[in-house]
Structure 1
Amino acid sequence: MSAGDPPPPIPGARLLFSLDAATAYLNHGSFGAVPISVQRAQQRLRDETERNPMAFFAPPGLTDRIVHTRRHVAQFLGADPEGSALVPNTTSGVSLVLQSVRLQPGDEVLLTDHGYGANALATRRQCRRDGATARTVALPVDAGDAEVVSRIRSALRPGRTKLLIVDQLTSPTAKVLPVREVVAAAREHDIPVLVDAAHVPGMLPVEVDRIGADFWVGNLHKWAYAPRGTALLVVAQPWRRRMEPLVVSWEQEAGFPLCVEFHGTVDYTSWLSAPTGLFMLRTLGVDTVRSHNAALAAYGQRVVGAALGLSPTDLPDPGAAEASMRVLPLPPGVATTYPEAHALRQHIAEKLATEVAVNAWGGRGWLRLSAQVYNRAEEYDRFAQHLPELLSGLR
């Protein structure tokens, strides 16, 4: 089958990153890749810190800089800066919300089976502590928006479901879920919703406040070129007074959001460098980057799928034109458990000098490919050429 034409490269984009040229890095979705300009901006901040730590950390200088950064990031995402807080990552934001909701015995938290594994672990831990339960609703990988909303609506238990956690773009299946419609369905029963948007900032166009969720949290260190450890948690007005930090420090009396943001003596340079990442994204052109990455990810999915003998109907559609991650099913019996998926990812990295994501989901192994401005079509072509032989050696 024809894989179609890949998008033309963005001139000079590959030189903006310090990735090892000997490795095809087709897994931007896992940990991102920090541009050189952002690395340097962060290093300048670290140098500033070490020249005079007291001057860097002393109030109000540091807190003013945190507030300025938060406002910049929130504006980019269409969120209210006063209802937003910088946090280290999406998983820490999820744990913060779980703690602040204050579950009671008999309550339940509803998840989908497309959710991020660490968030499911955090949910189960909080439920054990509070005497609540965690329940999962299954969504077919090929379900359309209407079916997704219908299945979630049917799974809600008014009076018992105290929180619904739903991904805007799922990690194991790279599926964009209709979160605005899901939030509206939950609102019919006054059930609060937490949207895990780990992959959204920078990849998908978003106006967070228009989604209407009670809680929304997304990473900027994946697709928005920020250093790792940078995310934004957005909280609706009725919940802000109830938000409590995971660790109490000196800004506790300031209330949300600063009490959540200030952690004492930690490295804040990743947050303060985030605007430099957004500057690079805007300089390249937000729409240009999104269209390039989405087209290249689709090309990679098609060419690798063709090499594995998959038909176009076997390749899941992410459900959004801007999606820069794509998945495809591995042969039956391959990587059907988490340890097997982890081992296969390592095997691919060692034998093919290619970084990809491999997940076990729904009793089957799935290969996830990402695309970023530093990637080239020939990287997916080479991977497609050698992957079938590697997989055949596993049987």
Structure 2
Amino acid sequence: MFLLNPERVFLNHGSFGACPKPIFENYQNFQRELESDPVEFIQKKYSDYLAKAKSALASFIHCQKEDFVFTPNPTVAINTVMRSLNLGEGDEILTTNHEYGAMDRTWHFFCKKSGAKYIRQNINLPITSKEQILEEFWKGYSSKTKVIFLNQISSTTALIFPVKEICNKARQLGLITIIDGAHVPGHIDLNITQLNPDFYTGTLHKWMLAPKGSSFLYVKKEFQSQIDPLVVSWGYESLAPSESQFLDYHEYQGTNDHSAYLCTPKVIAFLEENNWKEKATVAKELVLQNYARFCNLLGSQPIAPITAEFIGQMASVPIQTKKPEVLKEVLLERYNIQVPIMQLNGNVYLRYSINAYNSQSDLDVLYQALQEIIQETDLIQLD
């Protein structure tokens, strides 16, 4: 069903996803149609295909199709929002110390230009409760806080954050909320209308199984007129403007191959036809069942309660190693296991992801490989 190398133990769905054959074939069909008559496709057919894709995704993430645009990835989405914020000297963006590295760099760039401050509030590990996260997060709030930026599922630590509660309080405080949901669509339930953020970005090419380069940026209506295009093109001061300046500015930014976006109806149909929610539930159970086992092997402690409140289809286990890059390469080259060894805040984590193509045997192979490495090398320390 998937195009993954069958000889490799693939435990890293979280980084870039994996696309099933039927969806990839749909993707290639759009590319072939584009190349068979580029002018007809781009000038006539594309808008109809895009409308169908947006309608399908709007139903899946529960918002109006006029309130989001497709983007290649969340980095493009957050850069679009960041460059339109009217923040100045001393204004603060409150976030956590669990954010994705590319996002930290995006905000550091913005702060150097604007004079704003990026406040990485410490969320201590291990997590003991949702209340602990909320209490520690809001300790970073001050009268200068203007924006809340938060990942709903962290990348390195793979933790699910209480974004709904944070959005609710931020709204009461009059703060702008920007949510990075890169790992959310197709992973845990997403209802943007109920979550009610000001800005939200998520990927389709991770847990929704779409081809690479398919994500979206949702913008609440009251902010749409304030968001400048990242690339100025024909939609700016359009000769044939639509009812939405937001869509004009952001949906037509020059020639590109947007076939990945157009696969969205096929992506969602595939998930429904193959009962992917049930498969995801089985995968989540496998993640939880093995977490303590890996902690025990590596002489570490869980970084959160081993429950679905904090852990989904991927989990990060603390690992003591002075050579994380070498360890990752040993697992890949010697054992043919693709699994990330990630660093954050001075700590190192082994993060395994589970999807329908994985089984307990994959995790057993990883476990046995780590056992051998512990016994035969000094790459992993247990004290």
**What per-residue deviation string (whole Å, max 9, x for no partner) do you get for residues 114-144 of structure 1?**
1001000000101111122212100023332
User: Of 306, 315, 320, which aligns to 1:326?
Assistant: 315
Q: Which has the larger displacement, 315-324 or 341-350?
A: 315-324
User: Of 15, 19, 24, which aligns to 1:30?
Assistant: 15
Give 1:64-79 correspondences, 5 Å limit: 64-79=48-63
Shift of residue 367, structure 1, vs aligned partner:
0.6
Tell whether 2:360 aligns with 1:370. Answer: no
Shift of residue 318, structure 1, vs aligned partner:
6.2
1:194 matched residue in structure 2:
178
Shift of residue 322, structure 1, vs aligned partner:
7.1
**What per-residue deviation string (whole Å, max 9, x for no partner) do you get for residues 16-47 of structure 1?**
10111110000000010011111110111111
Distance 1:31 1:292 in 2: 21
Shift of residue 317, structure 1, vs aligned partner:
3.2
Tell whether 2:143 aligns with 1:153. Answer: no
Letter in 2 for 1:351: R
**What per-residue deviation string (whole Å, max 9, x for no partner) do you get for residues 96-115 of structure 1?**
11112222222221221010
Give 1:162-241 correspondences, 5 Å limit: 162-241=146-225
**What per-residue deviation string (whole Å, max 9, x for no partner) do you get for residues 44-68 of structure 1?**
1111011111111114x32232232
Tell whether 2:291 aligns with 1:301. Answer: yes
Contact 1:315 1:327 in 2 (8 A): no
Task: Describe the shift of the 1:26–1:384 C-alpha distance in structure 2 as closer, same or farther (beyond 3 A).
Answer: same
Contact 1:85 1:232 in 2 (8 A): yes
Shift of residue 283, structure 1, vs aligned partner:
1.1
Corresponding residue SS for 2:222: helix
2:73 matched residue in structure 1:
89
User: Of 265, 268, 280, which aligns to 2:258?
Assistant: 268
Tell whether 2:262 aligns with 1:277. Answer: no
2:37 matched residue in structure 1:
52
Corresponding residue SS for 2:178: strand
Shift of residue 150, structure 1, vs aligned partner:
1.8
Contact 2:280 2:356 in 1 (8 A): no
Task: Describe the shift of the 1:208–1:38 C-alpha distance in structure 2 as closer, same or farther (beyond 3 A).
Answer: same
User: Of 107, 112, 137, which aligns to 2:91?
Assistant: 107
Contact 1:111 1:134 in 2 (8 A): yes
Letter in 1 for 2:134: V
Contact 1:174 1:318 in 2 (8 A): no
Distance 2:360 2:310 in 1: 19
Task: Describe the shift of the 1:125–1:273 C-alpha distance in structure 2 as closer, same or farther (beyond 3 A).
Answer: same
Task: Describe the shift of the 1:322–1:173 C-alpha distance in structure 2 as closer, same or farther (beyond 3 A).
Answer: closer
Task: Describe the shift of the 1:381–1:215 C-alpha distance in structure 2 as closer, same or farther (beyond 3 A).
Answer: same
1:348 matched residue in structure 2:
331
Contact 1:175 1:319 in 2 (8 A): no
Distance 1:294 1:270 in 2: 27
Corresponding residue SS for 1:233: strand
Contact 1:33 1:222 in 2 (8 A): yes
Contact 2:90 2:117 in 1 (8 A): yes
**What per-residue deviation string (whole Å, max 9, x for no partner) do you get for residues 75-113 of structure 1?**
101122111111111111111111122222222212210
Contact 2:88 2:115 in 1 (8 A): yes
Shift of residue 315, structure 1, vs aligned partner:
6.6
Distance 1:17 1:305 in 2: 30
Shift of residue 319, structure 1, vs aligned partner:
4.8
Q: Which has the larger displacement, 166-175 or 98-107?
A: 98-107
Shift of residue 256, structure 1, vs aligned partner:
1.1
**What per-residue deviation string (whole Å, max 9, x for no partner) do you get for residues 328-371 of structure 1?**
1102xx15xxxx43443222111210011211123221110100
Distance 2:181 2:211 in 1: 17
CA RMSD of superposed structures (Å):
1.9
Corresponding residue SS for 1:157: coil
Distance 2:325 2:94 in 1: 27
Task: Describe the shift of the 1:293–1:69 C-alpha distance in structure 2 as closer, same or farther (beyond 3 A).
Answer: same
Structure 2 alignment gaps of length 5 or more:
none
Shift of residue 157, structure 1, vs aligned partner:
1.8
Letter in 1 for 2:280: R
Task: Describe the shift of the 1:78–1:141 C-alpha distance in structure 2 as closer, same or farther (beyond 3 A).
Answer: farther
**What per-residue deviation string (whole Å, max 9, x for no partner) do you get for residues 236-272 of structure 1?**
1211111122111212244213421222111100100
Contact 2:11 2:353 in 1 (8 A): yes
Letter in 1 for 2:314: M
Q: Which has the larger displacement, 319-328 or 208-217?
A: 319-328
**What per-residue deviation string (whole Å, max 9, x for no partner) do you get for residues 147-183 of structure 1?**
212222221123x222111111111111111101011
Distance 2:174 2:272 in 1: 38
Corresponding residue SS for 2:3: coil
Distance 2:24 2:134 in 1: 41
1:358 matched residue in structure 2:
341
Task: Describe the shift of the 1:193–1:17 C-alpha distance in structure 2 as closer, same or farther (beyond 3 A).
Answer: same
Task: Describe the shift of the 1:46–1:314 C-alpha distance in structure 2 as closer, same or farther (beyond 3 A).
Answer: closer
Letter in 1 for 2:354: A
Task: Describe the shift of the 1:355–1:222 C-alpha distance in structure 2 as closer, same or farther (beyond 3 A).
Answer: same
Structure 1 alignment gaps of length 5 or more:
1-15
Contact 1:149 1:185 in 2 (8 A): no
Q: Percent identity?
A: 27
